[in-house]
A and B are shown apart, each in its own frame.
Chain A
Amino acid sequence: DTADKRIALSNNYAGNSWRQAMLTSWETVTGQAVADGTVAAADAFTTAENQVTEQAAQIQNLILQGYDAIVINAASPEGLNGAVKEACDAGVVVVSFDGIVTEPCAWRIAVDFHEMGKVQVEYLATRLPDGGDLLEIRGLAGVFVDDAISGGIHEGVSENSQFAIKGSVHGNWAQDVSQKAVAGILPSLPEIKGVVTQGGDGYGAAQAFKAAGRDMPIIVMGNRQDELAWWKEQKDATDYQTMSVSIAPGVSTLAFWVAQQVLDGKDVPKDLTVPFLTITQDTLEDNLATTQEGGVANVEYSLEDAQSVINEAM
């Protein structure tokens, strides 16, 4: 019984639509859970700046406030270990998701970022049997997720030797930054067949290609609505085909249920995996229809979903 338990969400960034969707999902699902009396409280906390140090301080404050469990989307997989250790020592359950932490005492709901990179190249291999030149748009230098996805992409390319990465820019997971970086490098690149991305940057890349008057390559999309809408537009106009890989922001709700289960005394393995969200040519319309204008394609999880993820991992 967890009716008197209090769970906190520690979030390190709120400055993009993905994080906003994540917070909205959290609010919807946990709000219901609190109303139903499943837990006593489920408060969300966000730091003013996306920094390890601030989040570490935040976690320490949450410990002081006596939360029973802290659900973390971490700014860094290692940098919070000190604070997480303190939380565990104080008897607080720590569940990390999306940005996971490596401290052994915490639970991890991981996305296989490496795989997320690799499937993009594998998809391109099916579409472009003859291969060709690729452009890679990376995230933010020095951040774990960027490194993991890029690692997957490069592994994919080395396994599919018909592809070569001709250019690589950092788009910081933002449309306008990606647009600018791609526009700068594009003139000096040969014909680009495909663009491998990290999500949130596909639309910016498309804009840059359009502005430069180049042939539109296959741009792997993320889950922002504008990316999907652009894809739909192109699909209707020129039968443009691509795919989208991303993480559903609603994974925060899965983490919530996992924390609830741990508090309930259930035996939960420390490492859980969620599949990433894949949208194909066929599921595009359905996903687009359920995605809010300007928002992010999303999935929210229920207690049952969480239980089945746990059981799978057993």
Chain B
Amino acid sequence: MSLLQKPWIWSWIGTLAVCLVIIGISGLGAGTQVLSAALSFGTFFVIVAIGQMFVVTLGPGNVDLSIPACMTLASTVAMKVMGGSSTMLLPGLLIAIAIGTIIGLLNFGLIRLLRIPPIIATLSSSFLFQSTAIWYNRGLRVKPPEPLADFATAKLAGVPLLAILVLVLTVIMHVILHHSLFGRAVLAVGQNSRAASLAGIKVERTRLLTYLTSAVLAAICGFFLAGFSGGAALNMGEEYLLMSIAVVVIGGTSVAGGFANLPGLWGASLFMFLLVTMLNTLGLSAGIRLILTGAIIVGVIAISGRRGRT
């Protein structure tokens, strides 16, 4: 398979093109700074998109719409429990992860026990989680502990520390996807779940683990995002709903299920951030900016045109 046929290459080509435009407008110095910012913010997209990617790979109709609510609930509870105290850091993180776990289990329970289509199950449950977050601390914005904020914003030689860690996570997930039992099972279920079950794959266990992964990653993302932006807010996850899906599909994962890749998540995350930044930098009006955003996304996809796959 040549490089140009890799499903993820187009998000990277798009990223490169947008990057060049930004450098063309604002110069190389500004360009590198923008890139550094893109890494900071793109990292958060990547975390949730990894989970979303595994879910989407399970096949048509599988998508996790509870990611924003999960981020909000996990981070508000964690921030309130920590109450800004650095000694509570670890318990806080564990609580966030525990909440992610519960949410994943709940989502799967709705899908499996009540046979609710995932898209509606996760949408419905997200309302419940959002309500719980509201009820728990009425939208008060609690500051993260100092070390968490420092950690979330730290940079190593201009590269955000968090981005490096998430890169490591990406590599691990890549290995899991392509070289582990779980990954193989997800890909199999996504292509033909009946055949997968007859080949001895534990289909339901695979689904459970997938929804669990998605929720736990969303919770972790919420935790660090709260550290990064100075507190958890009720609306902090809002844009992650569409963004997590956009990053996954622009990154070349097939919505028909059974095909996924991780390099595309980084390409698409950076692309989405840089695209908005480029249009902001050009100083266009909101309407034109939106139109161009959409047109460029469609353009990139149309050029890449995955004709081979039917």
Contact flag (A, B; Cβ within 8 A): yes
| Chain A residues at the B interface, C-beta cutoff of 8 Å | 14-17, 19-21, 24, 48, 138, 141-142, 167-170, 172, 174-177, 179-181, 183-188, 203-204, 207, 211-212, 224-226, 292-295
Instruction: Specify which chain A residues have a CB less than 8 angstroms from the CB of B138 in the assembled complex.
Output: 20, 24
Instruction: Specify which chain A residues have a CB less than 8 angstroms from the CB of B234 in the assembled complex.
Output: 14-17, 20
Inter-chain contact B233/A174, CB cutoff 8 Å: yes
Instruction: Specify which chain A residues have a CB less than 8 angstroms from the CB of B250 in the assembled complex.
Output: none
Say whether, besides A187-B30, A187-B33, A292-B140, A174 and B235 are in contact (CB < 8 Å).
yes
Q: Within the assembled complex, what's the spacing in Å between the Cα atoms of A168 and B276?
A: 12
Say whether, besides A167-B283, A188-B25, A188-B26, A181 and B276 are in contact (CB < 8 Å).
yes
Inter-chain contact B34/A184, CB cutoff 8 Å: yes
Closest 9 CB pairs between A and B?
A: A188-B26, A184-B277, A20-B139, A294-B140, A187-B33, A187-B30, A141-B286, A294-B141, A176-B229
Inter-chain contact A207/B25, CB cutoff 8 Å: no
Instruction: Specify which chain B residues have a CB less than 8 angstroms from the CB of A180 in the assembled complex.
Output: 41, 273
| B218 interface residue per 8 A CB criterion | no
B91-148 at interface with A (beta carbon < 8 Å): 127, 130, 134, 137-143
Instruction: Specify which chain A residues have a CB less than 8 angstroms from the CB of B281 in the assembled complex.
Output: 167, 184-185, 188
Q: Shortest CB–CB separation between residue A49 and chain B, in angstroms?
A: 9
| B38 interface residue per 8 A CB criterion | yes
Query: What 0/1 pattern do residues 256 to 290 of B give for CB contact below 8 A with A?
Result: 00000000000000000110110011010011001
Instruction: Specify which chain A residues have a CB less than 8 angstroms from the CB of B26 in the assembled complex.
Output: 187-188
Q: Within the assembled complex, what's the spacing in Å between the Cα atoms of A21 and B143?
A: 18
Q: Within the assembled complex, what's the spacing in Å between the Cα atoms of A14 and B234?
A: 8
Q: Within the assembled complex, what's the spacing in Å between the Cα atoms of A14 and B41?
A: 26
Q: Shortest CB–CB separation between residue B191 and chain A, in angstroms?
A: 35
Q: Tally B residues with Cβ within 8 Å of A.
A: 45
Instruction: Specify which chain A residues have a CB less than 8 angstroms from the CB of B277 in the assembled complex.
Output: 184-185
| B22 interface residue per 8 A CB criterion | yes
Instruction: Specify which chain A residues have a CB less than 8 angstroms from the CB of B283 in the assembled complex.
Output: 167-168
Contact of A184 among B25, B142, B233, B276 (CB under 8 A): B276
Say whether, besides A167-B283, A184-B38, A187-B31, A226 and B143 are in contact (CB < 8 Å).
yes
| Chain B residues at the A interface, C-beta cutoff of 8 Å | 22, 25-27, 29-31, 33-34, 37-38, 40-41, 127, 130, 134, 137-143, 153, 225, 228-231, 233-236, 238-239, 273-274, 276-277, 280-281, 283, 286-287, 290
Q: Within the assembled complex, what's the spacing in Å between the Cα atoms of A226 and B233?
A: 11
- With most chain B CB atoms within 10 A of its CB, the pick from A20, A188, A207, A212 is A188
Q: Within the assembled complex, what's the spacing in Å between the Cα atoms of A123 and B268?
A: 41
Contact of B230 among A21, A48, A170, A175 (CB under 8 A): A175
Inter-chain contact B233/A141, CB cutoff 8 Å: no
Q: Shortest CB–CB separation between residue B236 and chain A, in angstroms?
A: 6
Inter-chain contact B33/A212, CB cutoff 8 Å: yes
Contact of A175 among B25, B139, B229, B274 (CB under 8 A): B229
Instruction: Specify which chain B residues have a CB less than 8 angstroms from the CB of A185 in the assembled complex.
Output: 277, 280-281
Contact of B40 among A16, A19, A21, A183 (CB under 8 A): A183
Inter-chain contact B229/A17, CB cutoff 8 Å: no
Q: Shortest CB–CB separation between residue B99 and chain A, in angstroms?
A: 18
Inter-chain contact A16/B140, CB cutoff 8 Å: no
Inter-chain contact A187/B141, CB cutoff 8 Å: no
Instruction: Specify which chain B residues have a CB less than 8 angstroms from the CB of A167 in the assembled complex.
Output: 280-281, 283
Contact of B229 among A24, A187, A204 (CB under 8 A): A204
Q: Shortest CB–CB separation between residue B110 and chain A, in angstroms?
A: 17
Instruction: Specify which chain A residues have a CB less than 8 angstroms from the CB of B141 in the assembled complex.
Output: 17, 175, 224-226, 294-295
Inter-chain contact B31/A17, CB cutoff 8 Å: no
Q: Shortest CB–CB separation between residue A6 and chain B, in angstroms?
A: 24
Inter-chain contact A187/B37, CB cutoff 8 Å: yes
Instruction: Specify which chain B residues have a CB less than 8 angstroms from the CB of A174 in the assembled complex.
Output: 233, 235-236, 238
Inter-chain contact B286/A176, CB cutoff 8 Å: no
Inter-chain contact B41/A19, CB cutoff 8 Å: no
Inter-chain contact A176/B236, CB cutoff 8 Å: yes
B31 nearest in chain A by CB position = A187
Q: Within the assembled complex, what's the spacing in Å between the Cα atoms of A177 and B234?
A: 13
Inter-chain contact A15/B130, CB cutoff 8 Å: yes
A24 nearest in chain B by CB position = B138
Inter-chain contact B233/A175, CB cutoff 8 Å: yes
Inter-chain contact B140/A141, CB cutoff 8 Å: no
Inter-chain contact A226/B40, CB cutoff 8 Å: no
Contact of A207 among B229, B273, B276 (CB under 8 A): B229
Inter-chain contact B134/A20, CB cutoff 8 Å: yes
Q: Shortest CB–CB separation between residue A222 and chain B, in angstroms?
A: 12
Q: Within the assembled complex, what's the spacing in Å between the Cα atoms of A157 and B93?
A: 46
B280 nearest in chain A by CB position = A185
- With most chain A CB atoms within 10 A of its CB, the pick from B31, B34, B38, B225 is B34
- With most chain A CB atoms within 10 A of its CB, the pick from B30, B38, B139, B290 is B139
Inter-chain contact A17/B41, CB cutoff 8 Å: no
Inter-chain contact B37/A184, CB cutoff 8 Å: yes
Contact of B286 among A170, A177, A207 (CB under 8 A): A170
Q: Within the assembled complex, what's the spacing in Å between the Cα atoms of A15 and B76?
A: 13
Q: Shortest CB–CB separation between residue A218 and chain B, in angstroms?
A: 19
Inter-chain contact B34/A188, CB cutoff 8 Å: yes
Q: Within the assembled complex, what's the spacing in Å between the Cα atoms of A17 and B235?
A: 9
Q: Shortest CB–CB separation between residue A234 and chain B, in angstroms?
A: 14
